[in-house]
């Protein structure tokens, strides 16, 4: 009987993850999933693996090993011509090697069994390579070798297998192994022969069980395109993107897509009948481009599978193991499949305790932008290369600017300081490799190669969230590293002020206790841009130019108001999920009338006010018939986040509420739009930023669940000044005693009524002694900007320690007792009395206390 490790073929049902030495990481993973997860309804196409033993068997039988060694004896991977010549020679040697008959017969025999399994004569298969050292924790060999799709018939299968074996020596694979210091002959190649999924007639994509940019572990990142998945890996297409929140998905909530973005998807790869060119790209019709390649339900199904796969591998490994997966939808059957899964190899290796942030210190002219990969900044000489043939002219440290990359570009990618591409999404080849190399990358700029080519030097900035920017010269930047391993824990919660959803996942590593102030204004300004009433009443917008602008922004929406709800819900959900299950306090819109007027179409609906700072803003808008239905859109968005997505950590906050009666009107309006206080645990806070809020705090806290002190407005209204006026700015001071008295007073009321009391502003981190003042008053939480979180925690910890120290000094009885024990000794007492006749008053006091004791003794 043939030993297992000397078999030419092993079926997926016979394989497990422990079989990497026999069949490589890709095939071992396919076997692991097919054997263990099909019962959990994760669909894996059936197939078998041609083992690495078969590969080594060919080399030995054909006697080509020594020839390959001779060809590689003077290999220089830094010389592109040397690498290219030697790679071509080795591949030719393997392709021309005589295929052992016994191996060929067995492959054909097992292929016939696969045909029988699928009840067809010549079943179509994907022939995928799987190196035995691939997908190690610190290196990914994925994409280094070739894949051949839609292979039919035994003869075509054998020809594809020869090419697969030879692809172990592609230029990129040789270069990669040299860099990772792997011996070329210690690695074998296995081949997966797997039933083809007809995604050419439907869609496909890549999926990660964590966020690829920040490493945020609670979201599945899913991309989708039309046609075969090769285009998404090559970066030929900008895909659709989905983020699905894992914790509420696992709890059974049906709407867990926290955000999604439509990709251009201008082409799709399909099969041809030409054996020399088996695939080709064709245009995607415009009406299809403007739709997502999969439905929301299908995105949820794939995300559930991602969770099942991640949980399985994590349990198997004994620690958290994020996964990188490829999926495909069969256009004939309409079924979804997982076709590959491997460990994520970038964020799983990062040190969680070290926070590294890049800060741009100068400004430059923006010349290109796209989707950012990573969070770093790099600058240097620009080298625009449009064809892989031109990579020989690339020099170390240059910024590579190109249309897109594939594995043939890797020899120069590893020496680039940054990469910029015209095409591709966050799961394309350029993005994957730049993450692994740890260099900044911007993909999908559309016209970067044209716009950047005129700059001799440039700066690539990926530090500002999901958008990446290219500037026309070298700019100064700073790298800040912080070790948070020993950050002290505090009783007072330190939270964060945040309005930009793009930053949320990047900031989840900070040791904050949620978000104390999430401003809706940033989301409305950046993502919606249009006045809500212009979306509700487009007939009132008369300017044709503005109408076209609105139509372009809301493309794909018949109901324009739904666009507002979707965008706001997505932004808030991203913020809420990043810090789940900690509280995220969302302040309803607090634009002033002049700021609302600046939104597209806004001037049709906004009044002109002389002093909008104390005009029609905050609560006074929400119940007003002139604005209430627009406020209703905000309520619909927040209700979706809490009730449909399950993000019940969202707390609503009402700004600038002048009277108690006004607060009641706002709560009634919210209830009308489906947000009822206390229902499903909904809490509603109010901003404490008007002296009236403090004076009537008892009454306000009867209708609200808490306050958050807005020190900016409270200071200006207490001191009666405009904080935006430079003429009186020197008077503005949060340390003013009147302001501090109000703050102390309102905290006392909240504590007595057992209601939440927070503070949002940077004074605790920037104003000396302010953290100590607030902590001494008994503040429950402080909310500051992200860059002030660490310093604020340190200030608060110091203030709490100081207070504890003061608390220890209060019960001074113990010290008195110790003194008594010392002076009880009779000889010492007598001496003290005798020597105290002509001394200071301080000693005389001691003399008096000594006299009392003998008196007590005499009584006894």
Tokens of 710: 């807005």
Name the active-site residue from 164, 428, 635, 760.
760
Number of C-beta neighbours around residue 136 at 10 A? 14
Answer yes or no: 161 catalytic. Answer: no
Best CA proximity match to 369, nearest among 476, 317, 445, 466: 445
Q: pLDDT (tens digit, 9 = 90+) per residue, 324-349?
A: 999 999 999 999 999 999 988 776 66
Best CA proximity match to 709, nearest among 741, 675, 664: 741
């390649």: which residue's tokens? Answer: 293
Q: Which pLDDT score, from 0 to 100, does residue 469 have?
A: 95
Cβ–Cβ under 8 Å, residues 626 and 662 = no
Phi, psi (rounded to 5 degrees) for 280 = -150, 160
Euclidean distance between CA atoms 834 and 836, whole angstroms: 6
Number of C-beta neighbours around residue 570 at 10 A? 22
Helix, strand, coil % over all residues of the chain, rounded to 5 = 45, 20, 35
User: 200: which residues sit within 8 A by CB, 6+ positions away?
Assistant: 150, 227, 228, 268, 269, 270, 271, 279, 331
Classified as helix, coil or strand, 254 is coil
Q: Which pLDDT score, from 0 to 100, does residue 79 have?
A: 82
Of 66-75, 302-311, 351-360, 364-373, the range with the highest mean pLDDT is: 302-311
> Which stretches does DSSP call E strand in 521-649?
584-587
Euclidean distance between CA atoms 546 and 529, whole angstroms: 12
Name the active-site residue from 429, 508, 531, 795.
429
Q: Which pLDDT score, from 0 to 100, does residue 847 have?
A: 36
In total, the chain counts a number of residues equal to: 860
Q: Minimum mean pLDDT among 534-543, 727-736, 827-836: which range?
A: 827-836
Q: pLDDT (tens digit, 9 = 90+) per residue, 118-173?
A: 999 999 999 998 888 644 444 444 455 778 888 999 999 999 999 999 988 888 78
Euclidean distance between CA atoms 704 and 233, whole angstroms: 52
In the predicted model, what is the mean pLDDT of residues 88-111?
93
Q: Which pLDDT score, from 0 to 100, does residue 811 have?
A: 52
Q: What is the DSSP letter of 641?
A: I
Q: Which pLDDT score, from 0 to 100, does residue 680 have?
A: 95
Tokens of 739: 């302001």
Euclidean distance between CA atoms 500 and 526, whole angstroms: 9
Best CA proximity match to 444, nearest among 233, 236, 143: 236
Q: Is 544 exposed, middle or buried (0-12, 13-18, 19+ CB in 10 A)?
A: exposed
Euclidean distance between CA atoms 623 and 559, whole angstroms: 23
Res 635 pLDDT > 60: yes
Res 180 pLDDT > 80: no
Res 513 pLDDT > 50: yes
3-state secondary structure 788-839: HHHHHHHHHHHHHHHHHHHHHHCCCHHHHHHHHHHHCCHHHHHHHHHHCCCC
pLDDT band (50, 70, 90) for residue 350: low
User: 789: which residues sit within 8 A by CB, 6+ positions away?
Assistant: 494, 496, 510, 511, 512
For all residues of the chain together, what is the average pLDDT? 88
Rg (CA), the chain: 34
Answer yes or no: 429 catalytic. Answer: yes
Q: Is 113 exposed, middle or buried (0-12, 13-18, 19+ CB in 10 A)?
A: exposed
Q: Which pLDDT score, from 0 to 100, does residue 829 have?
A: 41
Q: Which pLDDT score, from 0 to 100, does residue 218 have?
A: 97
HSE, side-chain direction, 13 A CA sphere, residue 752: 11
Chain centroid offset of residue 159 CA: 43
In the predicted model, what is the mean pLDDT of residues 273-283?
85
Q: pLDDT (tens digit, 9 = 90+) per residue, 783-817?
A: 998 888 888 998 899 999 988 887 665 555 544 44
Q: pLDDT (tens digit, 9 = 90+) per residue, 686-709?
A: 999 999 999 999 999 999 999 999
Cβ–Cβ under 8 Å, residues 257 and 299 = yes
Euclidean distance between CA atoms 134 and 316, whole angstroms: 18
Q: Which pLDDT score, from 0 to 100, does residue 828 have?
A: 44
Tokens of 305: 């599978």
Euclidean distance between CA atoms 734 and 760, whole angstroms: 12
The residue among 132 and 446 whose pLDDT is bigger is: 446
Number of C-beta neighbours around residue 104 at 10 A? 16
Tokens of 118: 């699928």
């Amino acid at each position: 009987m043939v030993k297992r490790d000397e078999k030419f073929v092993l079926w997926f049902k016979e394989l497990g993850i422990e079989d990497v030495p026999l069949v490589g990481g890709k095939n071992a993973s396919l076997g692991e999933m097919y054997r263990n997860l099909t019962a959990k309804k994760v669909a894996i196409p059936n197939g078998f693996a041609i083992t690495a033993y078969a590969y080594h068997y060919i080399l030995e039988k054909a006697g080509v090993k020594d020839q390959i060694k001779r060809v590689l004896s003077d290999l220089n991977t830094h010389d592109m011509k040397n690498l290219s010549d030697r790679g071509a020679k080795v591949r030719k040697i393997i392709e021309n090697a005589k295929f052992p008959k016994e191996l060929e017969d067995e492959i054909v025999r097992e292929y016939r069994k696969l045909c029988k399994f699928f009840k067809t004569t010549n079943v179509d298969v994907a022939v995928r390579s799987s190196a035995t050292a691939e997908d190690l924790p610190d290196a990914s060999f994925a994409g280094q070798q070739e894949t051949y799709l839609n292979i039919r018939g035994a003869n075509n299968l054998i020809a594809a297998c020869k090419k697969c074996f030879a692809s172990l020596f592609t230029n990129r694979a040789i270069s990669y192994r040299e860099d990772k210091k792997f011996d070329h002959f210690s690695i074998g190649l296995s081949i997966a022969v797997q039933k083809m999924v007809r995604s050419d007639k439907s869609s496909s994509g890549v999926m990660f069980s964590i966020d690829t940019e920040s490493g945020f572990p609670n979201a599945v990142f899913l991309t989708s395109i039309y046609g075969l998945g090769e285009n998404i890996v090559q970066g030929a297409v900008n895909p659709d993107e989905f983020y699905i929140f894992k914790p509420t998905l696992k709890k059974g909530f049906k709407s867990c897509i926290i955000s999604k973005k439509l990709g251009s998807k201008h082409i799709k790869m399909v099969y041809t009948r030409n054996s020399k060119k088996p695939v080709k790209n064709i245009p995607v019709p415009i009406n299809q481009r403007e739709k997502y390649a999969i439905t929301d339900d299908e995105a949820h199904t794939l995300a559930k599978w991602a969770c099942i796969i991640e949980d399985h591998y994590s349990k198997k490994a004994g620690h958290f193991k994020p996964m990188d997966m490829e999926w495909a939808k069969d256009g004939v059957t309409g079924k979804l499949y997982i076709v590959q899964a491997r460990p994520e190899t970038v964020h799983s290796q990062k040190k969680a305790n070290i926070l590294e942030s890049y800060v741009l210190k100068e400004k430059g002219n923006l010349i290109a932008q796209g989707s950012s990969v990573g969070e770093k900044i790099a600058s240097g000489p620009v080298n625009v290369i449009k064809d892989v043939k031109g990579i020989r002219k690339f020099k170390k440290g240059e910024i590579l600017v190109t249309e897109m990359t594939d594995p043939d570009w890797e020899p120069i990618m590893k020496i680039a300081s940054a990469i910029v591409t015209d095409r591709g999404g966050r799961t394309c080849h350029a993005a994957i490799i730049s993450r692994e190399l740890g260099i900044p990358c911007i993909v999908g700029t559309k016209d970067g190669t044209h716009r950047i080519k005129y700059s001799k030097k440039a700066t690539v900035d990926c530090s500002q969230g999901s958008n990446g920017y290219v500037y026309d010269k070298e700019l100064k930047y700073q790298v800040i590293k912080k070790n948070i391993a020993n950050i002290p824990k505090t009783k007072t919660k330190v939270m964060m002020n945040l309005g930009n959803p793009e930053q949320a996942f990047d900031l989840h590593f900070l040791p904050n206790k949620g978000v104390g102030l999430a401003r809706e204004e940033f989301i409305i300004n950046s993502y919606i841009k249009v006045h809500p009433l212009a979306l509700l009443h487009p007939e009132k917008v008369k300017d044709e130019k503005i109408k076209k602008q609105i139509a372009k922004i809301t493309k794909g929406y018949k109901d324009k108001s739904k666009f507002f709800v979707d965008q706001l819900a997505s932004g808030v959900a991203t913020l809420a999920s990043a810090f789940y299950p900690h509280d995220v306090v969302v302040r309803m819109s607090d634009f002033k009338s002049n700021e609302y007027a600046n939104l597209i179409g806004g001037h049709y609906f906004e009044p002109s006010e002389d002093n909008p700072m104390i005009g029609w803003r905050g609560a006074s808008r929400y119940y007003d018939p002139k604005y209430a239905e627009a406020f209703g859109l905000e309520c619909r968005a927040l209700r979706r986040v809490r009730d449909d997505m399950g993000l019940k950590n969202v707390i609503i906050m009402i700004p600038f509420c002048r009277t108690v009666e006004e607060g009641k009107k706002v709560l009634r309006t919210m209830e009308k739009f489906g947000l009822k206080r206390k229902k499903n645990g909904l809490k509603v806070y109010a901003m404490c930023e008007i002296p009236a809020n403090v004076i009537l705090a008892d009454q306000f806290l009867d209708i609200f669940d808490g306050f958050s002190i807005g020190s900016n407005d409270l200071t200006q209204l207490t001191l009666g000044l405009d904080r935006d006026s430079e003429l009186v700015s020197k008077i503005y001071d949060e340390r003013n005693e009147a302001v501090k008295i109000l703050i102390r007073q309102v905290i006392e009321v909240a504590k007595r009524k057992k209601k939440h009391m927070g503070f949002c502003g940077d004074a605790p981190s920037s104003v000396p002694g302010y953290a100590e003042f607030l902590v001494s008053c008994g503040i429950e939480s402080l909310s500051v900007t992200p860059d002030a979180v660490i310093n604020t925690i340190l200030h608060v910890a110091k203030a709490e320690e100081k207070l504890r120290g003061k608390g220890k000094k209060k019960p001074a009885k113990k010290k008195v007792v110790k003194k008594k024990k010392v002076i009880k000794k009779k000889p010492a007492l007598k001496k003290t009395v005798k020597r105290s006749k002509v001394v200071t008053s301080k000693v005389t006091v001691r003399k008096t206390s000594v006299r009392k004791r003998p008196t007590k003794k005499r009584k006894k």
